[in-house]
Amino acid sequence: STMFLVGLSGGIASGKSTVVAVLRELGCAVIDADVIARQVVQPHSKAHQQILQHFGTEILLENGEINREALGNIIFSQPEKRRLLNSITHPEILKEMLKQVLKYFVLGYRYVILDIPLLFETRGLTRFMKYTVLVYCDPPTQLARLMKRSGLGAAEAEARISSQLPLDEKRKWATHVIDNSGDRESTRRQVLRLHARLEDSLDFLWARLAVGTAVAGLGGMVFLLLRHFIS
């Protein structure tokens, strides 16, 4: 049995959560970078303490957790603050993602999907992916969905969309595209076809750990992979 990594991304209101839901129904291993991002900034964590040092206590909720909306408003309008936040959180996120990848690796999964919203913006992680998948929708549909979902006006919604790399640009870098411009059933059929292709693929990232060397080699593998992911 062999395993490889698949990077999944999209854009705001492009419908990535719909695709992830179908993949989970199929029993795929999905690592959600957004969920991990919330976990690594919980109170008393290393990242939580560093964020408070740089952004102040005014971004805290009453329970001590970080107010994501307040912090988001800061980094949305100040690119240098966004880069600072990323420098704090990204190493911690990568460490946790690596732990989960190794878990699925040892369990013998055929492939693991890394759900990373900014996969194509950062580009650093794409070299570890055998395939990259973009959840796409056409610009008018993306705008309409965001306005309906968030209650934003057209100007505000367009500003949020324009803060990200355009989906048409991301298409150039993706090895597979799921077009979510249509209805849910059309999207589901595309995901089923993609899953079938990935299951039949002969490509792999690593050979699965042999039972006899799993324990002995795991420490060395963690060290080497951490160096690659964090460098």
pLDDT (tens digit, 9 = 90+) per residue, 99-150? Answer: 999 999 999 898 999 999 989 987 788 989 999 999 999 999 999 999 999 9
Q: Are residues 58 and 159 in the same domain?
A: no
Same-domain pairing of 22 and 44:
no
Q: Quick one: pLDDT at residue 202?
A: 53
C-alpha distances out from residue 40 to 6, 8, 71, 102, Å? 23, 21, 15, 18
In a domain, 151, yes or no: yes
Which two tokens mark 186? Answer: 């059309």
Predicted local distance difference test score (pLDDT) of residue 143: 96
25 burial type by CB count under 10 A (0-12 exposed, 13-18 middle, 19+ buried): exposed
pTM of the predicted model as reported, rounded to 2 decimal places: 0.80
**Over the chain, what is the mean pLDDT?**
86
Res 120: pLDDT? 92
Looking at the predicted structure, is the pLDDT value of residue 173 above 70? yes
Domain count for the chain: 2
Are both 183 and 140 inside the same structural domain? yes
Give residue 77's pLDDT. 80
The answer on 194 and 118 residing in a single domain is yes
Amino acid in the structure at residue 63: N
Token pair in block for residue 211? 């039972």
